[in-house]
Structure 1
Amino acid sequence: MEFPWKRNLIVLWLGVFFCSTAYSISIPFLPIFLETELGVTDHLEIWAGIAFGITFLASALISPFWGSLSDKYGRKPMLIRSGFSLAVLYLVSYFVTDPYVFLVVRLCQGLLAGFVPASIALVGTNTPEHKTGYALGVMATSGATGTIIGPLIGGVVSYYFGNRNAFLFSALIVLIAALIATIWAKEHNFNRSAKRSHVLDDIRQAASNRLFMSLLLLTGVANFSVMILEPLITIYVKSMGVSTSNASLSAGIVFSAVGIATLIMAPRWGKIGSRIGFGKVLLIGLLGSGVGNMLQFFFTDIWGFGALRFGYGLFFAAVLPSINAIIVRVTPADFRGRAFGLNQSASQIATMAGPVIGGLLGAWLDIRFVFIINGLLLLVCAFMVTRRSWEIPAAAAAEPVAKVRTEQP
């Protein structure tokens, strides 16, 4: 009987969707929760920034450790561990009344995270080679969908039922994700007799693979390019003449445009990558999104700006799935959990740094110049992609990661 990789893909898509939705539910009201429920009145912006950033920082530091465990004990146990742990922590958030305790809970959420990278590693390892690009493209849509729907659900739940009850809703959603993974996710022919490695050894082993390290850099830059605009979009929308009362809604629509474009194009880029090569798709995505970012400099109309953001999203949808697909090709199966753990660390560090640097640049420069800087950064990455051969034969990936080498053409 053929291994049911399609069922796995559906199950893990749902799991990542629910997990991403649960996290993003708190985005609309977290500063309000700190102020009205936890009594934070002084330096609210700093408190909100720390509450967001501490989760990403903790996740970045711990992800290589969870990746090491996933290669020893399996990716499915990591899904179960993360899912049930996060469900408990969201439930704990409902009862918190002290802001310092709330920061500790947010820290623990980062330390016990790992559902998404474990899901991607499981899909990458348990999908036929010729279907990997398509599967990872489909997986990219799950997080995008959750990110779009989560803030909307959070806004509705907090408005009608209160901010605290939104955490109960998050706990329930993550619990569903954990149950789905526990009951239906399957891991095929996993070797549990392997000796667990140490994180420092993993980092040294990964560092010997020049191509993999380049992919980590690209992951960081790609996520940074998204998050650097996080604190600026709403301000930029207001500068276009949108009223303060409508700015949040208009900015939400602009943010959603990129997510909707990802839903449309990510699976298609996966199929194209399987046909022409993921290195070429990665190059197309970086060039298109880099130019798309720079063109936003010239738009001061909300509708034109939103349409261009959508066009940018159509190209950017190619970037992260292509990186994930190449990681699968250049790392052996017994290193893949650690590879995606390190990839998650790069992503989380960039996610944490992006809003901070974006806010600083927005304070020093006209926001339109941030689009230029962002576009140039992606174009530099595109140039870097042209300097390497990214199509690695499947046989090379079966070698120890330290032996995989990619020279410039």
Structure 2
Amino acid sequence: MSMWKRNLIVCWFGMFVTGVGMSQIAPVLPLYIKHLGVDNADSVAQFSGIAFGITFIVSAIFSPIWGLAADRFGRKPMLLRASLGMAIVISCMGFAPNVYVLIALRLLQGTITGYSTACTTLIATQTDKEHAGYALGTLSTASIAGALLGPTIGGFIAESMGLQSSFFVTGGLMLVAFITTALFVKESFHREDKKTLSIKEVWSSVPEKSLTLTLFLTFFILTVALYSVEPIITVYVTQLSKSASHVALLAGMTFSASGLANIIAAPRLGKLSDRIGAQKVILVALIAAGLLFIPQAFVQNPWQLMGLRFLLGLAAGGLIPSVNILVKKITPDALTGRVFGFNMSAGYLGTFAGSVLGGQVAAWFGIRDVFFITSILLLINAGWVYFKVYKKLSLNGREDNGRLKEIRN
């Protein structure tokens, strides 16, 4: 097996487990906080919001820092640091004596994260350009599937094994990711810049500043859209169900539908990006995803919603991989970790903002309006990508037989 394939397999598993670890707490968090001695319903909701959101906010701050460390010391050391650190911290959450220790551990989790950034950088720099789209497309399914399936996995473990077990199981899986990374990931790392560059110096070295900013903003809007419905899916399924006996199962299947479709579609759309250009794939995928959110507001039963969520997952398979492919192709190798770190920060902020947006829109206007607003966001983003990415690249002659030319120093 070639080195890039072996790295891809190990990184996929690690990113999937990381995605599960970041999101599995969502369905069990209120119950666990109550278990820790918080009885007032308003206080439970308040602490739940803080504990859930703080990880993503802190991750957004530290992601560029770990991206810099990856460029300086190599990507494999960052993978080992993040996987072992998360294994310890997530396992410790199961022993938290009170809600304040839990929140502190969630903050620490956000501080030591960076596994996804290092994985993306490793695959982007160690994979030949003929297979870059496929590799990054496949890799993107790990974090998306982990994040989407995490709540279902966490809820199942908590129900069948106990609340604390969800932390122990996830921590154990992160330990497995650490061991497999140490044994099987290979990296040919040569540090190109010998001095530490400031953020201003890094930015001045980026060859395509306008395009890079557009991709950051696009990634932010994508994650806002993809996670805006996460807080309201269970409530929506409850409204659509005639029987309340299987709501948890139906909600879990609805969450899983888009993740499964994403796993199927992303590698194939990544290969397509290699052939015709990532800017074409992302434009079509944005339009398709934006349109697919509209009928979700009119479904009459959970099965219709599940089917539409599956179709949405197929379209979403062309979104995040295309952003990563474009970022990789316009970024010099010496800056890849830092640029991907900033891009990941945009994603973490989008995850947090999407969760907040979905909950607030549902509370003020209604659940169905969440789908309309998300659709509008994606279609506006499609227009933005058309003028700032697709049209610009076409006008400047940067397409060569449907593929982007590499812009490197």
Deviation at 1:180, TM superposition (A): 1.4
Contact 1:207/1:213 (<8 A) preserved: no
Contact 2:236/2:367 (<8 A) preserved: yes
Aligned to 2:162: 162
Does the alignment pair 1:397 with 2:407?
yes
Does the alignment pair 1:251 with 2:251?
yes
Contact 2:193/2:334 (<8 A) preserved: no
Structure 1 vs Structure 2 CA RMSD = 2.1
1:308-387 aligned within 5 A: 308-387=308-387
Aligned to 2:182: 182
| Deviation larger for 344-353 or 232-241 | 232-241
Deviation at 1:322, TM superposition (A): 0.5
Aligned to 1:103: 103
Deviation at 1:205, TM superposition (A): 5.2
Q: In structure 2, do the counterparts of structure 1 residues 367 and 166 end up closer, same or farther at CA, with 3 Å as the change threshold?
A: closer
1:286-297 aligned within 5 A: 286-297=286-297
Q: Deviations over 1:85-139 (max 9, x none)?
A: 1111122212211111111110000010000111011001100011100001111
1:222-261 aligned within 5 A: 222-261=222-261
Aligned to 1:36: 35
Contact 1:38/1:97 (<8 A) preserved: no
Which residue identity does 1:398 align to in structure 2?
Answer: R
Large movers: runs of 4+ above 4 Å: 203-208, 390-396
Q: What are structure 1's unaligned runs of at least 5 residues?
A: 400-409
Q: In structure 2, do the counterparts of structure 1 residues 64 and 382 end up closer, same or farther at CA, with 3 Å as the change threshold?
A: same
Matched position secondary structure for 1:188: coil
CA distance in structure 2 between the partners assigned to 1:357 and 1:72 by the alignment: 37
Which residue identity does 1:260 align to in structure 2?
Answer: L
Deviation at 1:291, TM superposition (A): 0.6
CA distance in structure 2 between the partners assigned to 1:321 and 1:90 by the alignment: 28
Q: In structure 2, do the counterparts of structure 1 residues 367 and 95 end up closer, same or farther at CA, with 3 Å as the change threshold?
A: closer
Aligned to 1:60: 60
Contact 1:237/1:251 (<8 A) preserved: yes
Q: Deviations over 1:364-389 (max 9, x none)?
A: 21322221111111111111121133
Matched position secondary structure for 2:322: helix
Contact 1:12/1:119 (<8 A) preserved: yes
Matched position secondary structure for 1:28: helix
Contact 1:330/1:392 (<8 A) preserved: no
CA distance in structure 1 between the partners assigned to 2:151 and 2:296 by the alignment: 25
Contact 1:78/1:114 (<8 A) preserved: yes
CA distance in structure 1 between the partners assigned to 2:152 and 2:366 by the alignment: 30
Q: In structure 2, do the counterparts of structure 1 residues 98 and 263 end up closer, same or farther at CA, with 3 Å as the change threshold?
A: same
Which residue identity does 1:32 align to in structure 2?
Answer: L
Which residue identity does 1:139 align to in structure 2?
Answer: L
Contact 2:278/2:326 (<8 A) preserved: yes
Deviation at 1:145, TM superposition (A): 3.7
TM-score, normalised with respect to structure 2: 0.91
| Deviation larger for 34-43 or 372-381 | 34-43
Contact 1:285/1:316 (<8 A) preserved: yes
1:212-223 aligned within 5 A: 212-223=212-223
Contact 1:71/1:196 (<8 A) preserved: no
Matched position secondary structure for 2:69: helix
Deviation at 1:3, TM superposition (A): 6.3
Aligned to 1:407: none
CA distance in structure 2 between the partners assigned to 1:171 and 1:241 by the alignment: 35
CA distance in structure 2 between the partners assigned to 1:5 and 1:339 by the alignment: 21
Contact 1:296/1:305 (<8 A) preserved: yes
| Deviation larger for 159-168 or 261-270 | 159-168
Deviation at 1:201, TM superposition (A): 4.0
1:11-22 aligned within 5 A: 11-22=10-21
Contact 2:17/2:174 (<8 A) preserved: yes
Aligned to 1:118: 118
Aligned to 2:130: 130
Contact 1:329/1:392 (<8 A) preserved: no
Deviation at 1:41, TM superposition (A): 3.3
Aligned to 2:6: 7
Contact 2:152/2:255 (<8 A) preserved: no
Matched position secondary structure for 1:95: coil
Contact 1:40/1:99 (<8 A) preserved: no
Q: Deviations over 1:51-100 (max 9, x none)?
A: 11000000001111111111111111111111111111122212211111
Q: Deviations over 1:9-56 (max 9, x none)?
A: 112112222322333443331211110134453421111111110000
CA distance in structure 2 between the partners assigned to 1:193 and 1:380 by the alignment: 38
Deviation at 1:355, TM superposition (A): 1.4
TM-score, normalised with respect to structure 1: 0.91
Contact 1:293/1:371 (<8 A) preserved: yes
Q: What are structure 2's unaligned runs of at least 5 residues?
A: none
Deviation at 1:398, TM superposition (A): 1.4
Aligned to 2:282: 282
Which residue identity does 2:371 align to in structure 1?
Answer: F
Contact 1:224/1:350 (<8 A) preserved: yes
Aligned to 1:404: none
